[in-house]
Amino acid sequence: METKTKLVWLELVGGILGWLWILASVAALYFLVMAVFSDSPWSRFFWAFGIGAIAKWLAKGFRDNQQRVAFQAELMAKGYSREEASKEWFDRYTGNKT
């Protein structure tokens, strides 16, 4: 897949998951208030909280992947091989290199 296309898809999926996280967080707050004050089932709160947490985790993963693809494409344009660019990303991502 072309780099620009991959970046667009990663941005789209990450954005959708980000909005899902926001909506699930608002729903979790609503269900928390309903469970505390009007004897609503707690399971709705836990489901919304769980969906929000997973959506946030996935959105962050897609954002990290988008940054990796862009960084590697930039290095490959400067003459690095794919393996060298991958190693450079890994070193910077894990904090082994600044």
Give the residue extent of every domain in the chain.
3-94
- DSSP assignment of 46-98: HHHHHHHHHHHHHHHHHHHHHHHHHHHHHHHHTT--HHHHHHHHHHHHHTS--
CA distances from 16 to 9, 75, 85 (A): 11, 28, 28
Nearest to 87 by CA among 68, 70, 60: 68
pTM: 0.81
E strand or H helix at 14: helix 3-37
% of the chain surpassing 70 pLDDT? 97
The pLDDT, as a whole number, for residue 3 is 86
- pLDDT for residue 98 is more than 70: no
